[in-house]
């Protein structure tokens, strides 16, 4: 851990385990995850499967690395009652730490009323909800803002805080300023200046580092945060403190 990339202790607030086919053709397993965490001084990884049908694969990796992984159940809102029931089982009986939704991949809008039963289950078990943010027409920040408005007592993480589009990044910050149950995760978001902007204007506890393995390389995601213009104490919040508090680790 002599690399500058390992200087700050970290929680990775968003990565995946499993195999993604075309057009990505990338994969990530428990061995690679454990090695990445050692190399880059990552204490915990908030981990998702590679699809809504692969939560059992995530469970297996959690059992392999119980002190390293914080598992999120990926649910497809289009699957209705069977998916709702399985989500409740994983939160209640298995002990998963929260909910992940990917409206772009699964083909529903983030503010769809099909999402409301998912939010009610999250509320029942006091679990956070993580939602992919930044791709039309399914996962725009304003749609997530409408969902946050309907469910003001449920903490919601906007994964990628708008992703690669400057207008969506600005929209994510605007929505998070409007609704205090919205939090921002920064993986894959290319504008380091907006990490600083969010930290100073949304709130110092509401911005979290993430990698989005296997899509992005840790060194790129870490360097973007380190170069965003925050001081070391503020960087410690983004890299570790905020996710630790959000997930109830401290």
pTM: 0.97
Dump pLDDT digits (tens) for 114-154: 999 999 999 999 999 999 999 999 999 999 999 999 999 99
pLDDT 10s digits, 160-192: 999 999 999 999 999 999 999 999 999 999 999
Is pLDDT of 1 > 90?
Answer: no
Fold for 7-246, please state it.
Answer: TIM Barrel (3.20.20)
What's the chain look like in SS3? CCCHHHCCCEEEEEEECEEECCCCCEEECHHHHHHHHHHCCEEEEEEECCCCCCHHHHHHHHHHCCCCEEEEEECCHHHCHHHHHHHHHHHHHHCCCEEEECHHHHCCCCCCHHHHHHHHHHHHCCCCEEEECCECCCECHHHHHHHHHHCCCCCEEEEHHHCCCHHHHHHHHHHHHHCCCEEEECCCCCCHHHHHHHHHHCCCCCEECCCCCCCCCHHHHHHHHHCCCCCHHHHHHHHHHHHHHHCCCC
């Amino acid at each position: 851990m002599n690399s500058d990339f390992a200087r700050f202790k970290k929680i990775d607030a968003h990565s995946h385990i499993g195999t993604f086919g075309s057009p990505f053709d990338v994969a990530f397993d428990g061995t690679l995850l454990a090695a990445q965490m050692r190399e880059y001084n990552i204490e915990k990884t908030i981990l998702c499967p590679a699809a809504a049908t692969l939560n059992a694969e995530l469970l297996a990796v959690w059992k392999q690395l119980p002190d390293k992984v914080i598992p999120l159940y990926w649910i497809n809102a289009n699957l209705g009652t069977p998916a709702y029931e399985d989500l409740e089982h994983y939160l209640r009986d298995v002990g998963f730490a929260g909910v992940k939704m990917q409206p772009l991949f699964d083909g529903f809008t983030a503010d769809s009323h099909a999402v409301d039963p998912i939010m009610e289950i999250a509320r029942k078990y006091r679990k956070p909800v993580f939602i992919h943010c930044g791709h039309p027409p399914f996962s725009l920040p304003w749609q997530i803002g409408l969902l946050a408005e309907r469910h003001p007592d449920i903490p919601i993480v906007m994964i990628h805080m708008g992703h690669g589009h400057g207008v969506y990044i600005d929209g994510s910050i605007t929505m998070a300023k409007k609704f205090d149950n919205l939090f921002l995760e920064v993986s894959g978001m290319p504008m380091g200046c907006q990490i600083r902007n969010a930290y100073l204007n949304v709130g110092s506890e509401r911005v979290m580092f993430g990698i989005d393995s296997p899509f992005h390389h840790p060194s790129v995601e870490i360097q973007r945060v380190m170069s965003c213009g925050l001081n070391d104490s503020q960087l410690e919040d983004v890299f570790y403190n905020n996710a630790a508090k959000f997930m109830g680790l401290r």
